Amino acid sequence: MFTLPDLPYSSSALEPYIDTQTMEIHHGKHHAAYVKNLNDALSSYPDLLQTPIETVLSRLNQIPENIRQKITNHGGGHSNHSLFWPLMTPKSAPPAGALLDAIDSFFGSLDQFQEKFTAAAMGRFGSGWAWLVAASGKLEIMDTPNQDTPLSQGKIPLLGLDVWEHAYYLKYQNRRNDYISAWWHVVNWDQVAANFQAV
Ligand code: MN3
C-alpha cells in the first residue's frame, strides 16, 4: 500500500507565500485522495502495490491497459506531490556549487532560468506542472498536463511546480503569476541540488 508522506514542515511554515489553509487542503485532502485512489486502482495488483511509484510510472507501457490511465492520474499525483513538498522550505537559500554551474551552463544564469521556468509555468494551459528535468546529460525545462510526470518520458524531475488552481486559488485566485513569484521565495535549492546529485 502507498501512504501519504508527512510534510517536512508545519502547514503554516511557508506563510506568507503559501498560506496555511491551502497547505492543509492540498496535502491533507488532495494528495491524500491521490494515495487512496492509487491504492484502490491497484487493489488487485499486489505486485504493483509493492513497487516504488517512480518505477511504475517510468514503465507505464507495461501497466495493464485497464488501469493505465488511473495510474497516470493518481500514481502521478502521488509521485508529483511527494516530490513537491520537500522542494519547498521556509529557509530558502540560493543555489550554489555544481547545481548553479549547471544552471548557468544550460540557461545562461539563474535569472534567465527563473524567467524561462516561470514562462513554462504560466504557459501551461489548465492544470499541470512545470519542471526542471535532467535528460540525457542535459538540464531542460518542460511542462506536463494534469498529473503526468517527466518520469514517463524517461526524464528525471529535479524541481517541480504545481500550477493546478488547488495549489493557489484560495490566496491568489486567478493570479497564477503572483503565486509563482511568491513560490520562488520558498524553493528548497538544497533539495534540488540533492536531486541533481542523485542523477
Ligand atoms: Mn496539487
Q: What integer pLDDT is reported at residue 74 of this predicted model?
A: 98
Q: Sign (positive/negative) of CA torsion 38, 42, 47, 48?
A: negative
- The residues, ordered by sequence, that sit 6+ positions from 62 with a Cβ below 8 Å of its Cβ are none
For 172-187, the pLDDT digits (tens) are 999 999 999 999 999 9
Q: What distance in Å separates the CA atoms of residue 157 and residue 155, rounded to the nearest whole number? A: 6
Place of cell 484502490: 40
For the chain, give every domain's residue range.
Answer: 20-87, 97-197
**What residues flank ion ligand 1 with Cβ within 5 A?**
162, 164
- State in Å: Cα 101 to ligand 1 middle: 30
Instruction: State the virtual CA torsion across 91, 195, 161, 119 in degrees, nearest 10.
Output: 100
Q: What integer pLDDT is reported at residue 32 of this predicted model?
A: 98
Mean pLDDT for the chain overall: 97
Q: What integer pLDDT is reported at residue 43 of this predicted model?
A: 96
- State in Å: Cα 27 to ligand 1 middle: 8
- State in Å: Cα 128 to ligand 1 middle: 8
- State in Å: Cα 26 to ligand 1 middle: 6
Q: What integer pLDDT is reported at residue 108 of this predicted model?
A: 98
81 annotated ligand-binding residue: yes
Fold for the domain defined by 20-87: Helix Hairpins (1.10.287)
Low-confidence ranges of the chain (pLDDT < 70): none
- State in Å: Cα 46 to ligand 1 middle: 26
- 97-197 homologous superfamily: Iron/manganese superoxide dismutase, C-terminal domain (3.55.40.20)
- State in Å: Cα 127 to ligand 1 middle: 9
Instruction: State the virtual CA torsion across 6, 9, 14, 15 in degrees, nearest 10.
Output: 100
- State in Å: Cα 48 to ligand 1 middle: 23
Cα–Cα nearest to 185, from 110, 91, 121? 91
